[in-house]
Amino acid sequence: MDSSGASVAGQAPTASTDLGSHRQLFIGGEWVASSVDATFEVISPATGNAVASVALGSRADIDRAVASARAAFDQDAWSSYGLERRLELLRRFKDLVAQDHERLAQLLTAEMGSPITQSRTIQATNPIKLMEYLLELAESYAFRSIRRHPTGTALVTREPVGVVGAIIPWNMPAHQAISKIFPALLVGCTVVLKPVPQTALDAFRLAELFAEAGFPPGVLSVVPAERDVSEYLVTHPGVDKVSFTGSTAAGRRIAELCGHDLRRVTLELGGKSAAVVLADADLDRTVDSLRMASFRNSGQICTLKTRILVPTSLHDGVVDRLVDLVGSMKVGDPADEDTQIGPMVTQAHRATVEALIAVGRREGASVVAGGGRPAGLDRGWYVSPTVFAHVDPRSTVAREEIFGPVVTVSTYENEEEAVRLANDSPYGLSGAVYTEDLERGARVASRIRSGVVELNGHPVGVAAPFGGFKDSGLGRENGPEGLSSYTELRSVGLPDGWAGEA
């Protein structure tokens, strides 16, 4: 164990370099050289060693990708293939991804440090579940409907929005890629996917499977790029909609750029989600739920419940259990089947997490577990899972998204204060309520200003809309709402007595 009590795995071995290097981009259904012949070294977060390299795209490559997507939409009319033909290809792609599950999980662990058991059960599995759901939803989705009223009769159709620029983050890259690509293609859009270079290996693997499935040229392109090229994609006149997942700061910039051109945009941004523990909650079950609700993917998930709000009388009991919880979580090599906390994705990100922990100390919060680097892990970018107790809800660590294995515990005196504290945040992405009284729990959940609230740790699933209030974003993914976000509504006025079908 390290000084905080967390269980520590032995030093991670040197990661395998047999991950495959991608010296080409996937544009227009073909593997082509980057116009600038630039590459990016993929560094293992577990060791700090280079494990692969990927091609980087330029503005010229974005031009090529958008032109190809534009041609596939406007001229080759991917949207006019018909739903059944699109579904046939998407089913084939889904089956190939499912068959590739283990390889995809290994890539995700190697490139961003997700513990392998979580890469298998969450990172590589959730995209498959989402695809299965969307394929089923398509059978009943109202692409066309007739609306009758004394003022007129209309045929209302949902038309594909056009070319989509999809920009995804590093923390859940495969899931975020599928959550944008799949619904967009299903309704007839074409997509230019821009992954973060350090986690582009899985995106290129998805491109290989996409090509194997037999999609027509231009329907999907994959171009990893740095920030300036990403911004160029956002402003490209050939792009009809941008779908972005990432930080709130970057989201503000994208919203500004899209607003100038009245370009459609969906933004899934940051969070600082509260878990409200009510007085009657079963503390053992509550804290065990927080193992995944607060610490999965080593704390690098925007929906994690990182603000634990508890009645004053339960503070010490919750804190003691949290200390025991993090002490039971093995920290180390993400390829180890027993590891629950892996490294931060980059050295720079670890420095950010450590700097915020230092701010928490300076502002007077008590570090009761973790707070430093785990002993025995001299390579890689590890941070011990950290618990702050007696945290002022106005302090930095209680308000800023840390994006690491760090939680804060603050107290409240009554239900009104609990709700006020939960809502006292610029974010509104997720939240949780823990109680034995489910009716009361649902009532409290309805007062929390966030797009998702989990009762006693139960997830909402892929059929429910996902997105945030306030600074946590605009629009929704998943569910019918996520499918609709890639469509435009058209109304056609019909003669009185129209007897045709939708």
Q: How far is CA 227 from CA 9, 175, 233, 362, 431, in A?
A: 35, 21, 10, 33, 30
268 part of the active site? yes
Kindly write down the DSSP assignment for every residue of 132-155, as one continuous string: HHHHHHHTT--SEEEEEETTEEEE
Choice among 302, 401, 454, 477 that is catalytic? 302
Quick one: which of 389, 385, 371 has its CA closest to 312? Answer: 389
Nearest to 276 by CA among 113, 152, 434: 434
Instruction: For residues 33 and 21, give the distance between their C-alpha atoms in angstroms, rounded to a whole number.
Output: 13
Question: What does the alpha-carbon distance between residue 281 and residue 456 come to, in Å, rounded to a whole number?
Answer: 9
Contact 227, 124 (CB under 8 A): no
For residue 175, give the 3-state DSSP assignment: helix
The Cα-based distances of 426 to 115, 261, 370, 449, 450 in angstroms read 30, 26, 27, 10, 10
Element (DSSP H or E) covering residue 259: helix 248-261
Amino acid at 347: Q
**Minimal CA–CA distance to 368: which of 315, 320, 299?**
320
Per annotation, catalytic residue among 189, 258, 268, 454:
268
CA distances from 313 to 279, 319, 364, 414 (A): 8, 12, 21, 11
User: HSE on the CB side for 491, CA within 13 Å?
Assistant: 6
Provide DSSP, 41-100.
EEEPTTTS-EEEEEEE--HHHHHHHHHHHHHHHHTS-GGGG-HHHHHHHHHHHHHHHHHT
Distance CA 195, CA 203 (A): 7
- Residues belonging to the active site: 268, 302
